[in-house]
Structure 1
Amino acid sequence: MTTERPKAEAVPYRGEPLPHVPEDLVIPGVLNLDDIDEKQWVPQQENVWFRPLIMSISQGYWVNLLRVRKAGILSRHRHSGPVHASTLRGRWHYLEHSWWAVAGSYSYEPPGDIHTLEVPEGCDEMITLFHVTGSYTYVEPDGTAIGVEDVFSQIQSASDHYETVGLGADYVKQFLR
């Protein structure tokens, strides 16, 4: 037996807001991939950019769009936390796994996973929405650490880029939570 709920009235909450709750963050048109101002794409390496959507200092995660316009190996890295990815355009995979991420697919990468990201020949552009918790440790094939990336390095890269392209270093602050 199911009990039907009464229809809710369209009345907004009128109570006191909870203290210390940050403002909502809404970015219109984020999936209009061909209509994004090029200045918003932060260069990561040649033919690789990211566009920040949110950067959580207090929780150590970031969500961004990663755009790659080259074939080949992008990076080999280990995750300290979980990663969620939704591929919006193109395709990519990890050399260590048999699956391929193609447009419209979702993938989950567990903490501790080490993998080598490759964009295949014939893929003119790959864009994936990544939600990264923790950090990436870039590693050699034997696992030797050669670099680290986290929310703080992402913020610094974005701030430096936005200053360079005339948006101002503070432009990144809109993504901080």
Structure 2
Amino acid sequence: MNEANIRKPDEQAIAYQHAQPADMVADIVHPGVLDKWLEDDHLWVPTTKTVSFKPLLLNASQGYYVNLLRVRQTGVLSRHRHTGPVHAMVLRGRWYYLEHDWIAEQGSYAHEPAGETHTLYVPEGVDEMITWFHVTGGYTYVDPQGVALGYEDVFTKIDAARKHYESIGLGADYVKRFIR
């Protein structure tokens, strides 16, 4: 490669000198997500007695969400089909899909393609599973034959979080800190 084509790094510790775009949405920063947030049961949004989530980003304008999912049960969590791709990083515990031969355990990354249908299973001996999920589109919950039973997307997540935050005294508007 010609040395004239090699990009030199900008090593000046000088902030960008112009305004950001006028219609740009604000940054979201949640300190302590991997420690203090995990321990604060108050902010986990329950979906069942043993399954809950903590939103990090609920992107209504682009139809995706990023959240922490916590499961405190062994067995089948759900069988679902993705309308878009999913990225996952396991923070605690382990899980797998009945349709695959791999196990996602603490420290693992998984990519799930759009269109895939699978059954999430938390094995014996896992008291708590927490996974970071970036979900594009939504899930259609199905029976073993693929018959639709329900769905979940960024809008159902927003509604669930709004109701939970209202019920614990933070107010329905608390969810706005996660919405973009």
TM bracket, shorter-chain basis: over 0.9
Residue 86 of structure 2 corresponds to 83
Residue 101 of structure 1 corresponds to 104
Q: 2:115 aligns with which of 112, 115, 119?
A: 112
Measured after TM superposition, the shift of residue 8 of structure 1 is 2.2
- Structure 2 unaligned runs (5+)? none
Measured after TM superposition, the shift of residue 4 of structure 1 is 7.0
Identity of aligned residues (%): 57
Residue 175 of structure 2 corresponds to 172
Residue 147 of structure 2 corresponds to 144
Do the aligned partners of 1:39 and 1:162 also contact (CA within 8 Å) in 2? no
Residue 17 of structure 2 corresponds to 14
Distance (Å, rounded) in 1 between the aligned partners of 2:7 and 2:66:
38
Counterpart mapping for 1:25-104 below 5 A: 25-32=28-35, 36-104=39-107
- Supply the AA of the counterpart residue of 2:61: S
- Structure 1 unaligned runs (5+)? none
Q: 1:129 aligns with which of 129, 132, 145?
A: 132
Distance (Å, rounded) in 2 between the aligned partners of 1:157 and 1:48:
13
Q: Aligned-pair RMSD on alpha carbons?
A: 1.4
Measured after TM superposition, the shift of residue 84 of structure 1 is 0.3
TM-score by length of 2: 0.94
User: How many residue pairs are counted as aligned between the two chains?
Assistant: 177
Q: Do the aligned partners of residues 35 and 48 (structure 1) sit closer, same or farther apart at CA in structure 2, a change above 3 Å counting?
A: closer
| Greater displacement, 64-73 / 1-10 | 1-10
Distance (Å, rounded) in 2 between the aligned partners of 1:151 and 1:67:
17
- Supply the AA of the counterpart residue of 1:123: V
- Supply the AA of the counterpart residue of 1:159: R
Measured after TM superposition, the shift of residue 39 of structure 1 is 1.5
Distance (Å, rounded) in 2 between the aligned partners of 1:70 and 1:33:
22
Deviations 1:101-158 (A, max 9, x none): 0000000000000000010111011000000000100001000001010000000000
Q: Do the aligned partners of residues 117 and 101 (structure 1) sit closer, same or farther apart at CA in structure 2, a change above 3 Å counting?
A: same
- Supply the AA of the counterpart residue of 1:137: T
Q: Do the aligned partners of residues 34 and 15 (structure 1) sit closer, same or farther apart at CA in structure 2, a change above 3 Å counting?
A: closer
